Amino acid sequence: MDWNNAPVIAQPLLFPATSLIIGSNCLFWYLINRYGLDYGELGSSHQLVVIEHQWYRTITASFSHISIIHLFFNMSSTWQMKDVEHKIGALGYFRLTFSFLILSIFFQQFIHAFLAQTRYRDTTLHMIGVGYSCVVFAWMTWISLMTSGDSLDFVFFKVPYNLSPFISLVVTQMIIPRVDFVGHLSGIIAGYWQGWGLNSWLCDYWLTQVGIWTIIFFVASMVWSGKQVKFVEVCSLSEDERRQLTALDSSSTQGTSFV
């Protein structure tokens, strides 16, 4: 079948893994807005994740978006890379997506831990990041390595395809200064890590183990975390109580970045 010329209504059925990822992000965005949850309750920062051990935020932050425009850009980028699903299969797509998610989280926290020892400590500790772009940049980088013989047009000049993620990183930062540079960079590193075969030891068995332990740590951190109570119970709070809760969370952070 000619995938590119298939009817628009059939496209999600032809790319089930990509469609499920996009649908999950859209559903999460709907639930955030439906229950009035604040990004301070779901986002990730070095202070909240590493120091306060709210590890669940590394996952919730990856699927949280600030606005529908933020969601649209990330999901449209994900959809544009859908053809890779037919090359590696739906299972392979999920496998790589999970690997990119875990790797980008690891590299992001590693970079933040380093920056926390520098003069950027205060910003690093309290800046909250949200968004799926870590995984998007990882996919972009991995795909660029698979097509390293091509070049990409950037308006006035051409660059090797395998360097295009760095150009995108710089251009995005210039156009939208508020984006999470560290998050995007972590995604790029994750893409290179996977593309260069440095993750080849992670067979299906070990990836399954990582998945199981990720779920365990996710649930455990929600149970152990003091803020988890607010995250779970916020759905039953009144509107005034939600505003008070948001104000308390906002007072402990210096800003929000998005990826």
Residue 159 forms beta bridges with which residues? 152
* CA dihedral of residues 74, 77, 79, 84 (deg, nearest 10): -130
- Here the tokens at position 70 are 């933020």
Q: Work out the number of other CB atoms within 10 angstroms of the CB of residue 139.
A: 24
The single residue of 184, 186, 221, 225 carrying the catalytic annotation is 184
Q: Distance (Å, rounded) from C-alpha 217 to C-alpha 30?
A: 25
Q: Work out the number of other CB atoms within 10 angstroms of the CB of residue 253.
A: 17
Catalytic status, residue 112: no
Annotate 126-172 with DSSP letters as a single string.
Answer: HEEEE-SHHHHHHHHHHHHHHTTT-EEEETTEEEEGGGHHHHHHHHH
3 state SS of 73: helix
Q: Distance (Å, rounded) from C-alpha 227 to C-alpha 60?
A: 14
Q: Distance (Å, rounded) from C-alpha 131 to C-alpha 31?
A: 15
Q: Distance (Å, rounded) from C-alpha 206 to C-alpha 98?
A: 12
Q: Distance (Å, rounded) from C-alpha 10 to C-alpha 16?
A: 10
Catalytic status, residue 184: yes
State CA 2 to chain mean position distance: 31
The single residue of 45, 62, 133, 225 carrying the catalytic annotation is 133
State the catalytic residues: 133, 184
